[in-house]
Amino acid sequence: MNTNQTNTITFQTTELLKKHMRFIATMQQIFGVIFIIAGSFTCLGIISAIIGIPQIIAGVKLFKSGSAFSLAASLQKEDDIIAAIENLYGYWKYFLITFIASVIFLILYIAIIITIFSSLANGYY
C-alpha cells in the first residue's frame, strides 16, 4: 500500500456553500477568541494552567481554521480548504486533551472535597 499516493476530491462551490463557509468561518473565529480568553483566565492558577494551555492552543487552531475557511470561500483555493481542515483537526485534538484534563481535575476535586468533609465529620463524633 502506497501511503504517499494522493487522491483528488473535487466539488462544485455554489453561492449557498460559500455563504455557509463564511458563516462557519465567522463562528470559528468568534469561538476561537472565546477559547483563547477562557484559557488565559484558566492559566491564572499554576495547576489549572494544565487545562488552560491546551485550551489556548485549541482556540488558536479554531481561529486559524476559521480564517482558512473564510479564504477558501473567497478565493476558492484548495490550499485554504486543506489548511482549514488541518487546523480543525488540531482544534479537536487539543480540545480532547483539555476535556480529559478537566475531567481528571474534577474527579480529583471531588475526591479532595469528600476527604475533607469525612475528616471533619470524624472529628465531631
List the alpha helices (DSSP H) in 6-125.
15-42, 49-75, 78-123
Contact 52, 40 (CB under 8 A): yes
Please give the share of the chain, as a percent, with pLDDT higher than 70: 94
pLDDT digits (tens, 9 = 90+) for 58-86: 999 999 999 999 999 888 888 899 999 99
Q: How does the average pLDDT of the chain come out, rounded?
A: 90
Tell me the whole-structure pTM to 2 decimals: 0.82
Joined together, the cell numbers standing for residue 40 give 488565559
Q: How far is CA 84 from CA 29, 54, 92, 97, 123, in A?
A: 12, 19, 12, 20, 58
- What is the DSSP-derived secondary structure letter of residue 43? T
